[in-house]
Amino acid sequence: MGTAPINLSKGKRIDFKAVKEEWNEYDLEDGTKLKVKLILVDVLRLPDYNPLGEPLYQIMSQNVLKTTYVPDELKKKTKPSTTPIA
């Protein structure tokens, strides 16, 4: 038995300003090091509340990902370019 879907059409768009957007850093099992940042794009306050009486929010976000280190053995071996340099 699941819960009823939330109706986003009844949400109210809430304006916001970024206070701090930091990178999260991860060391992967294969030796790769990643940095990930969530960028908030939009916020809706829903008409529903959690059990503590606090309003629920729906966010829209983008994730920015960059590798800061990749072990040489994981890198694809590329052929040298045959395009002449002008």
Cα–Cα dist 22/55, whole Å: 25
Using alpha carbons, select from 80, 83, 73 the residue that is nearest to residue 32: 73
Nearest CA to 24 out of 60, 68, 74 is that of 68
What is the domain partition of the chain in residue ranges?
A: 11-71
pLDDT band at 8 (very low <50, low <70, confident <90, very high): confident
Q: Cα–Cα distance between 57 and 47 in angstroms, integer?
A: 9
| Maximum Cα interatomic distance, the chain, rounded to a whole number of Å | 67
CB half-sphere exposure, 19, CA atoms < 13 A: 2
pTM of the model: 0.68
**What are the tens digits of pLDDT across the range 35-77?**
999 999 999 999 999 999 999 999 999 999 999 999 999 999 8
